[in-house]
Each structure stands twice: as C-alpha cells, then as structure tokens.
Structure 1
Amino acid sequence: MTADQRIPIPRFVDALRREGELLALAAERAALDDEVATCPGWRLRDLLRHVGGVHRWATHYVAHGRDTRLPKEEDQPLRRTWPADDGDAGALVRWFRDGVDTLTDTLAAADPHLDCWHFLPAPSGTAFWARRQYHETTVHRVDVELVSGAVTTIDPDLAVDGIDEVLHGMLPHRNRPRADPPLTLALLATDTGTGWHVTIGEDSLTTKAATADASCTVRGTADDLYLLVWNRPTAHPLAVEGDEQVLDLWRAKATI
C-alpha cells in the first residue's frame, strides 16, 4: 500500500462518527450475551469492549503524538477501561459512545501532518488513524448489525478504500490464504469500475489493478466486495467465474 490516501481526513472522521453511532444503535437492539457469528468465540460484550478499547488506544497516539508503540504493560490497561458491571448493557454502550466521541474529536482537532506511531504507510499519523479506525469500526458495525437487524450499506468510495487497505496493507501481514502453485483472484466492482488482481502465493500476497485473466473472477458492488475481503456475508449474490475453489480458499483462510 502506498502512502497516498484519496479520501480526506475530515471525510473519514465524519464517517467514523456515523459508523460508531450505527454500531451503538445496533448494540442497543441486541443483548450482551448474543453471539457474534462473524467473530467466532465473541459475544456482543466482547465486541464492544474490543472496539471501544481500540478507539482509546488509537486516541492515545494522536492525542499525545507518541512516535513509538506502547509497551504491553501500558497498552492493555489503556484498552481495558470498560464498566465493571458485566451485565449493564446501557453502561457499556455509553462507554463505547464516549470512546467514539473522544476519538473523533481528537482526530478532528489534530494536525493533519502529525507524525505519530502507526503501522502501515500513510501520509501522516492522523491520516492513518482516521482511515484505520473508520474501517475497524465499520466492519464491526456490520458484525453487530448481522446480530440485530439489517446491514447498512457502505458508501462506494469508502468501500473501495477499504478493499485497498485490506489487500495492500492489512492482509499481507496477517493470516492470509496461501497457494503453491500461485492462484489469482480478480475482484471487479460493478458500481465504481474499480478492480483488483490478487496473486495468492505460498510466501506472499500481492495486488495490482485488475486484469482480465485470473483463476477466479468475482463481480459485485464495492460494498459487497468490501464485505467479501473482510470475510463477512455479502448483502447480494456475487457473480463468480472460473475456479470457485479460489474463492473457497479465500473464505477459509483470509482472516483479519
């Protein structure tokens, strides 16, 4: 992934604020003990604690301009500040909302050229954290909406950006599919005209602009392709051509 980001920081911040509220509203329609099927082993309370903790973690780097990663003994207490009452859903959702408000206010007020610690290439620390926290919150908002009701559509340009982030930045360094000999997967967004050509090898996963030739080609809206690369259920059927085992491999092994 290059350091270029097509979407400006204020757009990410506004969208992050909206996604945080959508997640909170979806959580209020569910129960803390509800299982989150797309995050195996988690219940709703675990997801709220995770995302709320990550928001506070990200806020710390931007608010303090910290240029190195926190040691574990400081990192974990920063994330684990949720209410002590394990059964008070209202308190946990309020804690989550407070974290969204603090994060978005901090990002909105930060120097757009701030140099602070971040873990993928980006124009600045502020740009990185605005983008990363938008997508972190969005994918988990989808998880909660899948528990409690209909899933809200993601704007096409933000979905395209999220696919870029996963394919160029997140997945090459995480649990990814592997294939020897290499396999190729083309993703074509029918609403934006954007495409990605992914080569799945034993030792690497690389992405370039889409070309016509691939072991498997998948067509769908940018929103649905976003959900696919994050290994979430799509809202609409995808059009698949070629070797569907490539798509099966992706769904089995692409985990973030």
Structure 2
Amino acid sequence: MPALDYARLAEGLREQTEGFAEAVAGGDPEAVVPTCPEWRLRTLVSHVGQADRWGAALVREGVAVPYPDEADPGAPDEWGAWLRAGAGELVEAVREVGADAEVWSFVGPVPAAFWLRRMLCETVIHRYDAALTTGTGYEVADDLAADVITEGAELMSHPRGETFKPELALMRGAGQRLAFRARGMAGWVIHRLPEGLRWERGNGPGDVVVSGTVTEIMLVLSRRTPPADVSGDSALLEHWLAHSAF
C-alpha cells in the first residue's frame, strides 16, 4: 500500500489538480512545454485529464483497459473544470471500490489506491511542467514530494520492473550507491546491485550524493532541473538520470 492514506492521496490529487488548472489558465494552447518539447500546452492538459479518467476506469473494472486516444479537453476556459472532473472521477472510483480492493496494474495486482497515488505523482510533476510553460509559481507539500520520490524508487526496484521498462537492466551494477539527502527529513539511498536495484530511506553514504530540499531532489530525479549540490561520482548520477525515465 502507498505510504500516504486514501484521505491524503485524495486531498493531494485535488490540491495538485487545482494548482495545475491555475497554472494553465489563460495559457497559449500551442505553447511548447520546455520540459516535454514534443508537447504543446493543450497536449499536456489532455494527458493529465485523460490519465485520471483511465485510472478511474482501471479501478472500476479491476482489469486492464486500453489507454484511450488523446482526449479533447475543450476550449482553454473549460480546462479547469475538465481537469477537476477527471481527478474527482478517480477519487470517487477508489472510494467506491475501496482503497484496498485488488485491481490490475503494469506491475501485477495492486490495491486500488495504487492508481490514486500514481496519478497524484504524475500530476505533481506535470504541474511543474505547466508552471514552467506559463511562468507561474510552483509549490508542493513536502510529504507529497517525498512520496513522488519513494514511488519512483519502488517502481524501479520492483521485481517486475524490467518487464515494463527493459532499460532498467542497464541500471544493474556492482554495489554503487546513489544518495539523495533532503534537508529536514530522511533521504533515499539507491543501491545498484548485480541482481537489480534496491533502495532504502536514510542518510547513508553514497558514491554520489545529491543534496537539497525534497522538492529540489524530486525535480532532479524527474529530470526537470539539474542538481545544484552534487558531491562524488557525477558520472554515476548522469548515467542514472539518462536511463531512469519511465
């Protein structure tokens, strides 16, 4: 189960969706998203709202359903309502079936709350993309930023990780450690082992160490911003960032 409970995940998704809606309000639909240059702002809006609705369908059906064709979010002045409706649909779907109900996912059977968390993490990062595109402010609560990092570590170290992302095989190593130290809380240490990736919370040693606020580290790990405070083997970090996207 996710570290955050249903209530916090639901609150977080609504909160981040609202922030995303505010960031795109009045934006040029054809503006290029700097962090996703193949996308325009309208595409980003469509992706976020569509992902919420797909997650809701997965939760309601409990089995795999096809990812739909690109959705039409409507006119720009309708984007906010459309985004809020998609987030609300997912929140309600999880509430109706129960956060612990078993449903399909790309890593095997999971509790329904998996999809609430997955879309929350997606929205946290894409809200940054939206804010960067339109020049608006960006802020995320520490517990949500920390859970984005934790979810990424869990997915990449999952026993079926290399099934849905074969490139993870390139991340195996001989015991190298990447340490991410967030000010004011326990950090994350990722171990690259011959059998695959392992991770732990804490401020243990690393062959490369990245330090900063939890939001700064989240944005580095999501390849949105370059690290500002790095010590140790920077090539190890560069290799990780080049092959960890999913």
Same fold (TM over 0.5): yes
Q: Which residue of 1 aligns with 2:93?
A: 106
Q: 1:231·1:254 contact (CA, 8 Å) conserved in 2? A: no
Structure 2 Cα separation of the partners of residues 103 and 212 of structure 1: 37
Q: 1:228 aligns with which of 220, 223, 246?
A: 220
Q: 1:161 aligns with which of 126, 130, 147?
A: 147
Highest RCO, 1 vs 2 (Cα 8 Å, sep ≥ 6): 1
Whichever structure has more strand as a proportion of its residues is 2
Structure 1 pair 53–242 and aligned structure 2 pair: CA distance change class (3 A) = same
Structure 1 Cα separation of the partners of residues 101 and 171 of structure 2: 36
Q: 1:198 aligns with which of 176, 190, 194?
A: 190
Secondary structure of the corresponding residue to residue 39 of structure 2: coil
What is the number of equivalent residue pairs in this alignment? 239
Q: 1:68 aligns with which of 63, 66, 74?
A: 63
Q: How much identity, in percent, do the aligned residues show?
A: 27
Structure 2 Cα separation of the partners of residues 41 and 204 of structure 1: 31
Q: Partner amino acid for 2:122?
A: E
Secondary structure of the corresponding residue to residue 180 of structure 2: strand
Q: Which residue of 2 aligns with 1:188?
A: 181
Q: 2:116 aligns with which of 126, 130, 133?
A: 130
Q: Partner amino acid for 1:154?
A: V
Instruction: Give the superposed CA RMSD.
Output: 2.6
Structure 2 Cα separation of the partners of residues 67 and 160 of structure 1: 28
Q: 1:120·1:128 contact (CA, 8 Å) conserved in 2? A: no
Structure 1 pair 68–134 and aligned structure 2 pair: CA distance change class (3 A) = same
Please give the TM-score of this superposition, normalised by the length of structure 2: 0.84
Q: 2:16·2:123 contact (CA, 8 Å) conserved in 1? A: yes
Q: Which residue of 1 aligns with 2:206?
A: 214
How far apart are 1:170 and its partner, in Å?
4.5
How far apart are 1:184 and its partner, in Å?
2.2
